[in-house]
Amino acid sequence: MMKGVASTLYQTIKFATPRGKETLYENQVAIKQCYLATVSIKATMKEVQLIAEEQEVLEDVERDLEAKVVEDLIRYELDEPSSDFSFSREQT
């Protein structure tokens, strides 16, 4: 949606573009049509109140997440049952 500022006195419309502010003032018919379209859009807009949805409250497990991630990285075993090789770090 393009936003613009209409001047009824000078029959111009100023609007923002990627290159900066532009002013439409040469074509009076186009300016009047843009102005009427802008006014009619504002007249049909309604203000509504949004109702916040209930959000699930997560349970605090009282454990430092970073410590759990480090523990998961330290204690790792290969899942292949045919492999005789597995490793784990014993914490003392």
Q: What is the pLDDT of residues 64-82, one digit of tens each?
A: 666 666 666 666 555 555 5
- The burial of 77, by beta-carbon neighbours within 10 Å (0-12 exposed, 13-18 middle, 19 or more buried), is given as exposed
Q: Does the pTM exceed 0.85?
A: no
Q: pLDDT tens across 28-51, in order?
A: 777 677 777 777 766 666 777 878
CA distances from 58 to 12, 55, 61, 62 (A): 55, 9, 9, 12
